[in-house]
Every structure is written in C-alpha cells, then in structure tokens.
Amino acid sequence: MQTITSISGQAGVGLRTPHIPQILQQELAIPWLELLVDNWLAEGGLTRYYLSAIAERYPLTLHGVGLSLGGLEPLDLNYLAKIKAVMQQAGALWYSEHLCFSQLASHFSHDLLPLPYTEEVIQHVSERINRVQDFMGCQLLVENVSSYVTYQESDFSEGEFIAALVANTGCALLLDVNNFYVNQVNHSHDALSQIRLLPHTAVREIHLAGFADKGAYVIDAHNNPVASKVWELYETTLQLTGAVATLIEWDNDIPALEVLLDERAKAQCYLHQLNKDIDGQQQCA
Amino acid sequence: MCLAHLHAVSDAYQQALFAGEIAPLSRLIHSTAAVSKSSRISVYQNNQSGTLKQVLAAAYPVCREIVGARYFQQLSAYHIKQHPSSDRNVDNYGDSFAATLERLLHIRAELDEMPYLADMARLEWLLHKAYYAADRISFDFTGFAKLSPEQQTQVQFRLAEDIELMNSSYAVCQLWQAHQNEQIQNDNNLPDFSYCSANPQYLLIQRKQWRCDVEIIDKPLFQLLMAIRQGKPLLEFAQYQENSSMDITGLIHSGMVSYVEPYDYD
C-alpha cells in the first residue's frame, strides 16, 4: 500500500477501464488516481484483483454516482456498506458523492438530477449527509453538479445552497470547476460569483473535465479536453482555495492515456505556479 | 418535513424519463430565450436512454453483432421503454433483455431468421453475471473429514458463485464461440444456427482465470449440478452420477463445489 497520506497540491486522473493495463504495467508518475466506486463493487473476479493491484501502486480516492444523496427514498445502507468495504480494501483517502438525486421511487435515472435550492431541501440533504458521514465514519466530500434546468421554487443560489450544507454538516467539498462553467453557460449564472460564495477552506478536491458544445447550451459530457475558459476559471479558483488536489475526468470517447496525462500535467503546472508564487512566468494551458 | 416541492420534482422526472411526458416538469423549471424547456428536459431524457443503451451494448456484444448495431439500438430503445432501471448499479441493468427478445421474436419480421436470439441473450447475461460473481471458496476438506459418515450424507453442497447453467434448443454455444473468433466472422463463414435441434444443449458457464467461458456438458452432469444448486442432499446425487462425465468428487476437486454449508451438529 502507498504510504503517501496527502495528495494536496497534486493533480491526478480518473482511472477508466481501457487504461488499467497500462497503469499497472508501467511506472507512471501519477500522484493519485480516482476510481468511480460504482464500477468497483463486484464481489470477485478481475475487478477485485485489479483493485488490490492498483491500490498497491497508487494513492486512491473514491467517487460515487449512485447514492442519490438528495433523494426522497431511504439511504441505501447496503450500498454504502459495499463502498465502505472497497474504501477499506483500497485504503482510499476519501469518498465523494454528487449533490443531486437519481432514484425516482423504485427506479433509477442513472443521471445526476439537480435539486431545488430551498430551505426544506437544505435541511433534508443536511440530515442525509450527516447520516452518510456517521455510517462511513469519515467526512464526505460533496460535489456540485452540472445542470440543464433550474427550478422556479428555488430560493437560494447554488453557492448559497452548498455553503449552507457545509455549515450544517461539516462536510467537505469537491468543487467541479467545469460544472460551474457548464451551469454558467446553461443558466447565465456567473460561475466565479457562485464559487466565491463557497467556504473555500472546505474544498478538498477540484474536478476538471471537457464539455460538449451544443451551441445554445453545453453538455457536461466528459469527452473533450478541458476548455480554455475552464482553465481560466480553475486558475482563479485556486487563488481562493489554495493548491488542493485536482483531478482530470474523461469518461466518453476516452483518449490514449498520454492525452489524459498531458491534461493532468497542465493542472499540475497551475498547482506548481500557485505553490511557487511565480505568477505569469509559465504558460500552463 | 413534507418536502412537497421535491416530491413534485421527483414525480415530474418520473413522468419525463419513464413515460415521455414532459408537461409536469416543464411547469416547474425556468426557460430562456436561447434554450426551450423541452430542449433542457431532452438532455436528461437522452442521457438516461443513452446510458442504458451503452450498458446493453456492453452486456450483449454477440446479440449486437448478430442483429447489427443499428437494429440493436432499436431493440434497446424498446426494452428501455418497457423496463426502466430498478437497480442502483447500472452494471446490473439488462437482466430481462432476453425476455423482451423472446416476445419480439413473435412480432418482428426482422427476427424471423434468428429464433435463437433470446437464448443467445440469456447466455450473454449469464456470462455477464459470472464475470462479476464472488471468488471461489476452497472446499473445507479438513472440516468435512471430521464429520461422521451420516453427517456427510446430510450436508448441503453449494456451487461456486460464478457457475451458471442453461439449456437451449439452439446451438448457441457454438454460435457464441464463433463470435469470439474474429477470423471466422471476417470470412463470413458462420454456419447456420437457425435450426432447432431435437436434442437440446446443456451449457455450463463459469469463470476461469478471470475470463468467462461456456461449454456443452452431458445431461446427467447438468442434472447433478442443478441438484446441487437446488440444495439437494448427497444421497440424491447417485441417480445422476452414474452416467455423468463428472461426479461430486470431481466437481469438488475442480473447484466448482466450493464449500459445505455450515451446519450445527451439536
């Protein structure tokens, strides 16, 4: 097992299946990897073997998509128990989930549906975050989601909503810069204004990804390099949060690992610039 | 906390995603001049169906090759409408796809020449299950040896989690194996599998060295494995073992019978 306990200031990549053999066969200078935990819940077989092999070589974090953290149905403790087991087996540094819902009564959308931002929903989600943290025995990182709709009943902005949850629960944040940018385009909200509303000391991780441009709106497709506007927003965000761990996500039209690592190197460049305070001396993106 | 609005939002998504009815959700959301409400909702509709189509394509690669990618998309879209996902883990979606194909075989002319398609889907789903199944547990020979002869006849044997069984009137085993061979496919040398055999195939699916495979087994062995799966006691195995290519001892040594149910003999 890796002995590195902090990945702060380090850029990592989200590990996807096509890259696993290369990750295991080569000595790659990747400070850390993030696993989509829902893909690693198998009880046996190659998945279990890979999990052990990867955990021996790289520090890991776990990222979930299936909890339905803001949903109306009871939290699935069996699912959380499986995640807890993977977390222990992999020695994962933390577990993050999305601030959304995906369960709809007895069915699942398998998509990250945005929540209405109301006082009632703040109380509801706060209770559920507390229950997850109690069950897991650790701080949960919650991630802001990209969205294509906003609700007429919402009383708070996204930034205010998230800040209230952190205040109520003491949870940490996974700040997805691309998601804030996607929402800016789709809803004409100023992304940086929303990011400024967050409690920056709670941000433990940042996500970066590419979107698909549909003209009048953009889709958070994770199928492209990080856009230049998102790099700009990331650079400004780092001034607020400090050099927190940053991850490159790429889930569709997955490129060669080298392409992903080039993106990672850009993020690392921004993190180094911040640490060394050599603003403007190097062009990262 | 009544969460009336969140309930309304949740109900509206159910209507939009599973019934194609967007009016309830439209009433709850904002629109802009640039992007209509229906365009916004369609992103979620497309995401939901797109994800499940990808999952079906990954779970049923041979069915997809047989019918072609475009027609497989149509079959998938039909199935997704009939069967929204009811499992939190998207990898578990698609277990009833064979039943959908079974029904469509009788009403879609395009499938007339593929009467084996539902059985192929059944086989592919069992291979999918076997891939993710729990690892085998070694048979507890020491513990078994400590039991009295009478106790040994009463224990319940268990099949390893990765073992699946099915029978088919079609040569789906050979068809599946042919589709693993790119050369045969490229040469378009696939034999005709559309005939219904008078003697059904008995198939054993299992995971070996991380990979899942299927093989044809004799009927007595199939019956023996079924008897073990059903939890029948050792004494009932005799009727199948006599003509089976493998007996319970052979199954234990091959790792297929992985452990003995722990009974309290005190």
Paired sense of beta strands B201-208 and B164-168, if any: antiparallel
Name the residue facing A109 among B3, B7, B13 (closest C-beta). B13
A253 domain-assigned: yes
Q: What integer is the mean pLDDT of B139-157?
A: 87
Residue A156: the pLDDT is 98
Residue A281: the pLDDT is 56
pLDDT at A1 over 60: no
A127 domain-assigned: yes
B243 domain-assigned: yes
Residue B85: the pLDDT is 98
* pLDDT band at A118; cut points 50, 70, 90: very high
B187 domain-assigned: yes
A6 domain-assigned: no
Using the Cβ of A103 and the Cβ atoms of chain B, whether some distance falls under 8 Å is answered with: yes
Using the Cβ of A107 and the Cβ atoms of chain B, whether some distance falls under 8 Å is answered with: yes
Name the residue facing A41 among B2, B37, B89 (closest C-beta). B89
B58 domain-assigned: no
A285 domain-assigned: no
Using the Cβ of B142 and the Cβ atoms of chain A, whether some distance falls under 8 Å is answered with: no
Q: Supply the range of the domain harboring residue B189.
A: 137-266
Alpha-carbon distances, residue A4 vs A37, A60, A114, A275, B34 (angstroms): 21, 10, 35, 19, 48
Name the residue facing B52 among A42, A110, A149 (closest C-beta). A110
Residue B187: the pLDDT is 62
Name the residue facing B30 among A66, A68, A150 (closest C-beta). A150
Q: What integer is the mean pLDDT of A68-96?
A: 98
Nearest-Cα residue of chain B relative to residue A101: B10
Domain count, chain A: 1
Q: Supply the range of the domain harboring residue A214.
A: 11-275
How much of chain A exceeds pLDDT 70, in percent? Answer: 96
Express each pLDDT in B110-128 by its tens digit. 898 899 999 999 999 999 9
* pLDDT band at A3; cut points 50, 70, 90: very low
- State whether B48 and A111 contact (CB < 8 Å): yes
B203 domain-assigned: yes
Residue B253: the pLDDT is 92
B54 domain-assigned: no
By the 8 A CB rule, do B40 and B31 touch? yes
Domain count, chain B: 1
**Helix or strand run (H / E) with residue A53:** helix A45-57
Q: Report the mean per-residue pLDDT for chain A.
A: 95
A280 domain-assigned: no
Side-chain half-sphere CA neighbours of B228 within 13 A: 27
* pLDDT band at B189; cut points 50, 70, 90: low
* CATH (domain of A53): 3.20.20.150
Residue B181: the pLDDT is 79
- State whether B161 and A45 contact (CB < 8 Å): no
Residue B100: the pLDDT is 98
By the 8 A CB rule, do A197 and A159 touch? yes
ipTM of the predicted structure? 0.94
* pLDDT band at B186; cut points 50, 70, 90: low
- State whether B132 and A47 contact (CB < 8 Å): yes
Express each pLDDT in B193-216 by its tens digit. 777 776 789 999 999 989 999 999
Residue of A259 and B239 predicted with greater confidence? A259
Q: What CA–CA distance (Å, rounded) separates A153 from A156?
A: 9
B87 domain-assigned: no
B224 domain-assigned: yes
Mark which residues 107-136 of B lie under 8 Å from A by CB.
131-136
A250 domain-assigned: yes
